[in-house]
Structure 1
Amino acid sequence: MAIIIDDMGTSLEALQQVLDLGQPVTISILPLSPYAEETARIAHENGLEVMLHLPGESLNHQEGNNSTAGLIRSGMKEEEVRSLVEEALSRIPYVEGVNNHMGSKITQEEPVMRPILDILKSHDLYFIDSRTTAETIAFDLARKMGLRTAYRNIFLDSSVGVDFSKKKITDLFRLSQKTGKAIGIGHPFPETLQALRENIQLLKKFKVTPVFASQIIPD
């Protein structure tokens, strides 16, 4: 079972709370966040796995700010897409994989996803499809292109609240126990981090072993 914490790089305090969990959590860092490089360095020095949280255009403008600098958009020329991905990767050291931030629009579009995935493959990076839409083609395309890839099974905080997240974390443990592997994605909300702290003790009960995202992906 792997837990990924998205939207990292905006708070070093949140990073410390993730470190304090004492578990192999994977952190996914926004490339233009104020503490992106420092977050990656501290996480790496403390044994955590680092991902790039690559911003992509969403279908629902309320999902996030589609005017964000560095956002990969539908209809972009291939050269521009490639340039944005390379720039994002250059901002974060120790990256081992990538997942999409928002991206419910572009993850449905092969002309946009193919150059993204091509660059990730050239850097020998894995790809996690965050599945921000049920219509995503990203995981299937990545697999066809020969990348190490997987997809998110459960969002831990699609509704923000300690009790909600504790239930979702338990669901993740149960799914992992049943299927042998599962990926959960959460965010550095105080409620999510509290729920993780309180539910860590259930790992032994469910006989679940937490691992980094890279360790759950088939070769």
Structure 2
Amino acid sequence: MKYFTQSLVLLLCFFIPFQAFAENPDTRELKAAIIIDDFGGGNGGVREFLEGKIPITAAVMPYTEKSKEHAIWAHKNGFEVMIHLPMEPKRGKRSWLGPKPITVDLSPKEVKERVEEAIATVPYAVGLNNHMGSLAVENEEIVRAIVEVAKERNLYIIDSGTSSNSKFPEIAQELKVPILKRDVFLDDISSLSGVQKNMLRLAKITEIKGQGIAIGHVGINGRVCSLGIFQSLEEFKKRNIKIVPVSELFAK
């Protein structure tokens, strides 16, 4: 009987932890951030987002007539603000970049000056991401100048993912600047169903990784984007995914 009891105790010691591990549900807190680009520029969806209840992060184009207005409006209503820094692409119209973009013909000193000017025109900004930039983000000198300013100004960086050869990840990691990369573009197909489909992609990515980042836009299709996001919130609630400002994704 003594040996039977000892054997039973040993068996239980082995079995209970294993069983508890096997039945333990995923206790991670799932978080997704939704960045909305082009504030300061396009008008469509601006009011819907900045007077709404979706906790977006507002990425504001610098140097525009409405840069400060939109940044202040967003901050006043409790939304996180970041700089949507215009950078030279491989293709596309120069006019799409707006004034004072970061182009590859600039010296590192000129790049830093433009980034500092951008910061000055977007109050309350705590981070930055790139507007277009498929050419400029591949230029190590250009990117290093941007990241150095971000480090000095204590800004995080979101790589918008316009080039697979972006230098942002390696240089930001080298300089110890917080960086993450966009997972999904919400409105690459400008329709309500397209936004909803991409919101579902964001949810699935978040469940796999524990967190996810999507980018949408104000402007011509801004109202469609806002409606598609709003109509997807119930699905996020069912999946226990919390939508948060970008900075919360860096919190440990």
The verdict on a shared fold, with TM-score over 0.5 as the criterion, is yes
Instruction: Report the counterpart of residue 245 of structure 2 in structure 1.
Output: 212
CA distance in 2, matches of 1:82, 1:151: 22
1:13 Cα deviation after fit: 6.3
What is the RMSD computed on CA atoms of the aligned residues?
1.7
Q: Does the Cα contact within 8 Å between 1:21 and 1:197 map onto a contact in 2? A: no
Instruction: Report the counterpart of residue 134 of structure 1 in structure 2.
Output: 164
1:15 Cα deviation after fit: 2.8
Q: 1:206 to 1:21 in 2, by over 3 A?
A: farther
1:177 Cα deviation after fit: 1.6
CA distance in 1, matches of 2:108, 2:84: 20
Instruction: Report the counterpart of residue 111 of structure 1 in structure 2.
Output: 141
> 1:145-194: per-residue Cα shift (whole Å, max 9, x none)?
11011110111111211111110011101111221000000102221111
Larger radius of gyration between Structure 1 and Structure 2: 2
**Is 1:149 the counterpart of 2:179 in the alignment?**
yes
1:20 Cα deviation after fit: 4.2
Q: Does the Cα contact within 8 Å between 2:40 and 2:67 map onto a contact in 1? A: yes
CA distance in 1, matches of 2:97, 2:167: 23
**Is 1:52 the counterpart of 2:83 in the alignment?**
yes
3-state secondary structure, aligned to 2:241: coil
3-state secondary structure, aligned to 1:93: coil
1:218 Cα deviation after fit: 5.6
**Is 1:37 the counterpart of 2:62 in the alignment?**
no
Q: 1:27 to 1:67 in 2, by over 3 A?
A: closer
Q: Does the Cα contact within 8 Å between 1:127 and 1:150 map onto a contact in 2? A: yes
- Consecutive unaligned residues of structure 1, counting only runs of 5 or more, are none
Q: Does the Cα contact within 8 Å between 1:12 and 1:39 map onto a contact in 2? A: no
Instruction: Report the counterpart of residue 230 of structure 2 in structure 1.
Output: 197
Aligned residues: 218
CA distance in 2, matches of 1:125, 1:185: 18
> 1:112-160: per-residue Cα shift (whole Å, max 9, x none)?
0001110011000000000111221212211111101111011111121
Amino acid in the other structure paired with 1:186: G
CA distance in 2, matches of 1:56, 1:155: 18
Q: Does the Cα contact within 8 Å between 1:29 and 1:52 map onto a contact in 2? A: yes
3-state secondary structure, aligned to 2:123: coil
1:214 Cα deviation after fit: 0.8
TM-score by length of 2: 0.82
Q: Does the Cα contact within 8 Å between 1:177 and 1:207 map onto a contact in 2? A: no
Q: Does the Cα contact within 8 Å between 1:57 and 1:66 map onto a contact in 2? A: no
1:12 Cα deviation after fit: 6.1
**Greater CA drift, 139-148 or 97-106:** 139-148
TM-score by length of 1: 0.94
> 1:38-61: per-residue Cα shift (whole Å, max 9, x none)?
111111111100000000000112
Q: 1:96 to 1:67 in 2, by over 3 A?
A: closer
3-state secondary structure, aligned to 1:140: helix
Q: Does the Cα contact within 8 Å between 1:58 and 1:66 map onto a contact in 2? A: no
Identity value in percent:
30
- Consecutive unaligned residues of structure 2, counting only runs of 5 or more, are 1-31
3-state secondary structure, aligned to 2:243: coil
CA distance in 2, matches of 1:174, 1:93: 34
1:80 Cα deviation after fit: 0.8
**Greater CA drift, 50-59 or 29-38:** 29-38
CA distance in 1, matches of 2:51, 2:207: 25
1:68 Cα deviation after fit: 3.5
